[in-house]
Structure 1
Amino acid sequence: MEEKLSFIEGAEQPLAMHPKKFALWLFIVSVVMVFAGMTSAYIVRQGEGNWLEFDLPNVFWYTSGIIILSSISLHLAYLAAKKDNLNNIKLGLLVTVILGIAFLVGQWFSWEALVAEDVYFVGNPSGSFMYVFTGLHGIHLISGVIFLIIVLISALRNKIHSQNLAQLEMCVTYWHFLGGLWLYLFMFLLLNH
């Protein structure tokens, strides 16, 4: 009998994950697959010729800096939540929302810069890819800003703290993913343009 008990006590517990976090990770994996497919298609289509050469908008450098700063401010909000510093949680989330909106405005300016170079969505595939990459990322970033606003509202109601981090952790994961995705796209375009 004692042998059976020691065997049962030594049994490993199955890995468990919050169902919403699991769903978020499934969504992130699907987005990665979409962008991996699109960047692969970009390389294949570029190799076929008839590819319009143009300069990447300079605003991409600024939006890249903005997205990095937004990840830092959100991480600081997360660290504040772990220490129950409610004011810094709110401040970090607010700064991240503002930076997220600034990123989107910067993307709009990048489209204006493309139009100024006579690069349009229709016409040459190189322009089409540029608009699809930035537009699809922009749509995901809009969803990220909405998520940030929802978490900010929870923080303003003092519902985000060290004992209630799941919502903030999911937001941090998604926002860092979006930042990493943008940096990947920007580096990809710099190296393959």
Structure 2
Amino acid sequence: MEKELKYVDLVEQPISMHPKKFALWLFMVSVVMIFAAMTSAYIVRQSEGNWLEYDLPQIFWLTSGIVVLSSLFLQYGYSSAKKDNIAGLKIGLTGAVILGIAFLIGQWYSWVALVDEEVFFVGNPAGSFLYVFTGLHALHLISGVIFLIIVLISSFKYKIHSKAMVRMEMATTYWHFLGGLWLYLFMFLLLNH
């Protein structure tokens, strides 16, 4: 008895992504391009001379720790949501929101420290760049905190769980991105200051 071979055409599954996730990724790529352009401009302008020398605010170390801790809280919330642990989800989101607000307060105090050191937005470009870097990052972080609050409210309405993860995945991706962006900026400033 001969076996008959059957050819089955495998239909390739197109690579797909939720449209909102795709939009978020496009937005993050544009933010990376903005900060890459600004850090390049910083290096070029610094090499021209007439650059104010000052110490970076010590609170940057604290805010860096805060942003890492906030990402850990959010990752805990994300993992909890995947397991339908709603209490863990709420704890993770609440911790991330509180720490995000603490980060913003820390950034405000970094500006206070800069003013105390007589580093101002207007004047030498060294100070201007630092205010623009931290201010633009803070603006994005405010949007991230608002997003986290929206997701937190959704979690209290039981709209975030293992079968409804899009908002939580987006919030987690964006928040980790913002944390990574801050660490990049801080390391850049430490190495090029």
Q: TM-score range by the shorter chain?
A: over 0.9
The alpha carbon displacement at 1:151 in A equals: 0.1
User: What is the TM-score with the length of structure 1 in the denominator?
Assistant: 0.96
1:191 corresponding residue in structure 2: 191
1:137 corresponding residue in structure 2: 137
Post-superposition CA distance 1:61-93 (Å, at most 9, x none) = 000000000000000000000110011101110
Q: Distance in 2 between matches of 1:49 and 1:83?
A: 56
Q: Distance in 2 between matches of 1:18 and 1:149?
A: 21
2:49 corresponding residue in structure 1: 49
Post-superposition CA distance 1:130-165 (Å, at most 9, x none) = 000000000000000000000000001111110100
The alpha carbon displacement at 1:170 in A equals: 0.2
SS at match of 1:67: helix
User: What is the TM-score with the length of structure 2 in the denominator?
Assistant: 0.96
**Ranges of 4+ aligned residues in structure 1 off by more than 6 Å:** 2-5
Higher helix share: 1
1:119 corresponding residue in structure 2: 119
The alpha carbon displacement at 1:3 in A equals: 9.3
Q: Distance in 1 between matches of 2:35 and 2:7?
A: 50
SS at match of 1:119: coil
- How do 1:3-152 and structure 2 match up within 5 A? 6=8, 9-152=9-152
Q: Distance in 1 between matches of 2:104 and 2:69?
A: 14
Distance 1:4 1:20, change over 3 A: farther
Q: Distance in 1 between matches of 2:147 and 2:82?
A: 19
1:173 corresponding residue in structure 2: 173
SS at match of 2:131: helix
Distance 1:55 1:110, change over 3 A: same
Amino acid across the alignment from 1:24: L
Q: How many residues are treated as equivalent by the alignment?
A: 190
Amino acid across the alignment from 2:179: G
- Identical pairs, percent: 71
SS at match of 2:143: helix
The alpha carbon displacement at 1:13 in A equals: 1.4
How large is the RMSD of aligned CA atoms in angstroms? 1.3
- How do 1:150-169 and structure 2 match up within 5 A? 150-169=150-169
Q: Distance in 1 between matches of 2:32 and 2:7?
A: 45
Q: Distance in 1 between matches of 2:84 and 2:10?
A: 36
Q: Distance in 1 between matches of 2:15 and 2:6?
A: 23
The alpha carbon displacement at 1:14 in A equals: 1.1
SS at match of 1:148: helix
Structure 1: gaps of 5 or more residues: none
